[in-house]
Amino acid sequence: MTVTASTADEQRPRELGVAVLGLGNVGAEVVRIITENADDLRARIGASLVIRGIAVRDTSRDRGVPAELLTDDPASLVVRDDVDIVIEVVGGIEPPRTLIRAALDNGKSVVTANKALLADYTGELADAAAKARADLYFEAAVAGAIPVVRPLMQSLAGDTVERVAGIVNGTTNFILSAMAETGADYGATLAEAGRLGYAEADPTADVEGYDAAAKAAILASIAFHSRVTAADVYREGITKITSADLASAAKFDCTIKLLSICERIRDADGTERISARVYPALIPLSHPLATVSGAYNAVVVEAANAGRLMFYGQGAGGAPTASAVMGDVVMAARNKVYSGRGPLESTYASLPVAPIAQVPTRYYVAMKVVDRPGVLEGVAGEFAKHDVSIAAVRQEGDDEETRLVVITHRAPDGALATTVAALEKMEAVTAVTSVLRMEGTDE
Ligand code: NAP
């Protein structure tokens, strides 16, 4: 039978059922947007979005939504026949993993903001989505409101991404920016961030780099068409950064940022591998990421043909994150209306992940040394002995104990580690106080 355009139009759904899991910071804003923007959303989608239910833990609290929509039984909600799209904004691994699997297995499309889950289970969930011919979208999982997942998966689908480097954690960026501005120490600045609502009561996931590593895993997977999990990402947090480090970074015309870096690296024989790493690094003040301050996020993408692209904006917060969620909801809804499907993860390249020891970077090494002639030569000699070439040296302070700061050219992690071990044994070196990487320079 030939279906004419008008018959096909008549057969399209007039409304789509939505299940919202979670009514916290993000969920409440998602429900607000669906309610307030109903007419515009209907025009953009071609069908109305109708909320069938909202899952929370505590249904007794008044939350400003119709009480009959609230349920503490998300497992039943996600498989209801009248639900087409499930929005997961609960967070954590379980129950979201089981709920999303159940939704996908029942042909529902899923939109999630859950980076912790995706960092480890994208493969499992994408396989379930592919089997059910359903959509799985997760723009909000990386850098909140900033569109970076869709540009990587769709806009740059015809290009070769070489590098994705960004500031994707607002809490640590707030702390490092404030330390640079005020000269205050890490502990005092973390406490202030907590008071202002930029750091959670338990800030571990942010300050130890776990959140940034989960996002790096997602970015590396989609940028390089491979499967990278959080465990593959080398990770260092910001807890050891001192105000002295920021002050000496400034003297080298640099600042310190917690960077998530995903890079395509090529061995001498042309073999390609991925490097995915998160650490605080010195970057020149002239680098585009150096000006990203406070709780803002930014991601710089370098592609073979497009060149350098920069995405900047609010990386967290209820409304900004809900904006990204709703972009995905509209895409998933349109696909339901027109019986289509968006792109899923593509892992055809299956590039291996290179261990950090094989990724050469520049280093900043700060040490306390005794103030006497010949010390600088001795320190420089140790770097030379281990084939680590020095780019700049600065001596700070004129007390009995002097601070010596060395910036190196690119060196392998292993060579730097042996140099630091040798420095620590030197009688003239009282302590090696900081070893940080330096990024964003060509040397
Ligand atoms: P949140 O404020 O803690 O809200 C979580 C919601 O999930 C609450 O409504 C909670 O119910 C509900 N919930 C928890 N466990 C549940 C369960 N077992 N069954 C049913 N409902 C349950 O979290 P959020 O800040 O909105 O974050 C949600 C997700 O978005 C997370 O994956 C997070 O990583 C991601 N995200 C958040 C932001 C942000 O700025 N907040 C940014 C990017 C991504 P009750 O209200 O009854 O406790």
pTM as predicted = 0.94
- Render pLDDT for 228-265 as a digit per residue (tens, 0 to 9): 999 999 999 999 999 999 999 999 999 999 999 999 99
Write out the CATH class of domain 5-143+319-338.
Answer: alpha beta
Question: Is 215 among the catalytic positions?
Answer: yes
Write out the CATH class of domain 356-438.
Answer: alpha beta
Where are the domains positioned within the chain?
5-143+319-338, 149-314, 356-438
Can you tell me which atom of ligand 1 is nearest the CA of 114?
32
- Render pLDDT for 106-134 as a digit per residue (tens, 0 to 9): 999 999 999 999 999 999 999 999 999 99
Q: Whose CA is nearest to atom 36 of ligand 1?
A: 113
| CA 114 to ligand 1 center in whole angstroms | 9
Under a CB-based contact definition with an 8 Å cutoff, are residues 20 and 89 in contact? yes
Whether residue 17 has pLDDT greater than 50 = yes
Helices 170-182 and 243-251 sit at what angle, rounded to 10 degrees?
70
Average pLDDT, the chain: 94
Q: Whose CA is nearest to atom 20 of ligand 1?
A: 56
**Are 149-314 and 356-438 in the same CATH fold?**
no
| CA 212 to ligand 1 center in whole angstroms | 18
| CA 22 to ligand 1 center in whole angstroms | 5
Whether residue 377 has pLDDT greater than 90 = yes
Whether residue 153 has pLDDT greater than 80 = yes
- Per-residue pLDDT band for 399 (boundaries 50, 70, 90) equals low
Q: Whose CA is nearest to atom 2 of ligand 1?
A: 24
Under a CB-based contact definition with an 8 Å cutoff, are residues 169 and 211 in contact? yes
As to burial, measured by CB atoms within 10 angstroms (0-12 exposed, 13-18 middle, 19+ buried), residue 330 is middle
Cα dihedral 421, 427, 429, 431, rounded to 10, equals 70
Which of 183, 197, 143 lies closest to 165, judged by CA?
Answer: 143
**Cα distance between residue 274 and residue 359, in whole Å:** 10
Ligand 1 pocket residues where CB is under 6 Å: 22-27, 55-58, 74, 89-91, 95, 113-115, 140, 144, 316-317, 321
| CA 26 to ligand 1 center in whole angstroms | 7
Question: Which of 90, 200, 211 most suits a substitution to test ligand 1, by most atoms within 8 Å of the C-beta?
Answer: 90
CB atoms within 10 A of CB 433: 16
Percent of the chain with pLDDT over 70: 97
CB atoms within 10 A of CB 377: 8
In three-state secondary structure terms, 384 is: helix
More confident residue, 268 or 228: 228
Q: Say what the pLDDT of residue 425 is.
A: 96
**Cα distance between residue 442 and residue 231, in whole Å:** 29
- Per-residue pLDDT band for 396 (boundaries 50, 70, 90) equals confident
Q: Say what the pLDDT of residue 401 is.
A: 72
Can you tell me which atom of ligand 1 is nearest the CA of 115?
34
Whether residue 3 has pLDDT greater than 60 = no
Mean pLDDT, residues 80-107 taken together: 98
* Among 108, 115, 131, 215, the one annotated catalytic: 215
Bridge pairing between strands 272-284 and 136-137? unpaired
Residue type, 279: Y
| CA 422 to ligand 1 center in whole angstroms | 48
Q: CATH code for 149-314?
A: 3.30.360.10
**Cα distance between residue 141 and residue 91, in whole Å:** 10
Whether residue 4 has pLDDT greater than 90 = no
**Cα distance between residue 248 and residue 45, in whole Å:** 54
- Per-residue pLDDT band for 1 (boundaries 50, 70, 90) equals very low
Q: Whose CA is nearest to atom 21 of ligand 1?
A: 56
Mean pLDDT, residues 16-39 taken together: 98
Q: Say what the pLDDT of residue 253 is.
A: 96
Least confident of 80-89, 371-380, 418-427: 371-380
Report in angstroms the alpha-carbon separations of 127 from 124, 132, 345, 402, 439.
5, 9, 9, 58, 36
Q: Say what the pLDDT of residue 45 is.
A: 97
Report in angstroms the alpha-carbon separations of 408 from 90, 128, 309, 361, 419.
45, 47, 28, 9, 11
Whether residue 30 has pLDDT greater than 60 = yes
Question: Which of 20, 21, 25, 69 most suits a substitution to test ligand 1, by most atoms within 8 Å of the C-beta?
Answer: 25
Can you tell me which atom of ligand 1 is nearest the CA of 95?
18
- Render pLDDT for 313-364 as a digit per residue (tens, 0 to 9): 999 999 999 999 999 999 999 999 998 888 877 889 999 999 998 888 999 9
Mean pLDDT, residues 88-114 taken together: 98
Q: Say what the pLDDT of residue 9 is.
A: 75
Mean pLDDT, residues 31-58 taken together: 98
Can you tell me which atom of ligand 1 is nearest the CA of 23?
9
| Residues, the chain | 443
- Per-residue pLDDT band for 398 (boundaries 50, 70, 90) equals low
Q: Say what the pLDDT of residue 2 is.
A: 47
- Per-residue pLDDT band for 270 (boundaries 50, 70, 90) equals confident
